Amino acid sequence: MILKERRTDVNSVTNWNVPLVWEGTFDPVVIDAIYKRMDPRVAVIVFAIGKYTQFIKAFLKSGEKYFLVDFRVTYYIFTDHKENVPQVKLGRSRNISVITVPSAKRWQEVVFGRMKWATIAIETQIVNEADYVFMMDIDSVFHNRFGAESLSRLSAVLHRIYYKNTHRDSFLYERRPESTAHIPAGKGDYYYTAAVWGGYVEDMYKLVKQCYTQAEEDSKNNIEAAWQEESHLNKYLLHNKPAKVLSPEYLWSDYDAVQADIKVVRISQLVKDYAKVRPN
């Protein structure tokens, strides 16, 4: 990373010696310039199933203002109501691709379905159209710059609730040995959110395919991981370390007060009435 200034209030390196990215640990002008010379194509995968289509417009409009501005970006919107995808003015070299997927009766089906449909879309379409892929939650809004400092082979985001916690046994890992997402007590690095993560298209494909395969295996054995895809994501990243870890700046929540060490909120999950937007 290109250092702008040194933060002394946070840890900016992981224990496997890769960057832990915070505001104040990189120079945004320099790092964007480096990546722009490479001219990468970036895919953003979001799912807007059922009533979640109401969040598309704000996500896209804020993304156009703050997400990898002046880079080539395609938003891949997976939805069961393509007629509800709004028209949003996009910048140069910015596009939308709508992919139709089935409706769901349970919100857990939507969550697990993300790994399945992302696997299929990457191997059949996105692999030919992107160099990097991000998976994001549609019920989120960008508030500040989300730039090239987020790009790497694999980038994972620290969960806002657990990022200060050093006691691994308090993380919400899947602890049942019967599940393929099982992480034994005393093991683990960090607890990562499944609401934002990304990486090279090839590495993201390996990740989503393995998580999908493991979830299918669990289903055959009549078990569902404690936190669905997030449990499988954390298991994968324990054994396939991210090349960058992003601070909770890269996924906060409007439900929570901003902590003193969060100098900027780059993207935040919206407050919502789950009873009104989820299928169950």
* Active-site amino acid positions: 230
Positive or negative CA dihedral for 49, 53, 58, 64? positive
Helices within the chain (DSSP H only): 28-38, 56-66, 107-124, 201-220, 228-239, 274-277
Q: Tell me, what DSSP letter sits at residue 37? A: H
Distance, in Å, from the CA atom of 187 to the CA atom of 163, rounded to the nearest integer, reads 16
Q: Which residue, 120, 147, 129, 148, is CA-closest to 201? A: 129
- Copy the structure tokens of residue 231: 């449990």
Of 74, 256, 58, nearest to 143 by C-alpha is 58
196 and 233 in contact (C-beta within 8 Å)? Answer: no
Structure-block tokens of residue 271: 């407050």
3-state secondary structure 125-169: CHHHCCCEEEEECCCEEECCCECHHHCCCEEEEECCCCCCCCCHH
| Residue 222 one-letter amino acid | N
How far are the Cα atoms of 33, 112, 176, 263 from residue 44, in angstroms, in the given order?
21, 18, 32, 25
Length of the chain: 280
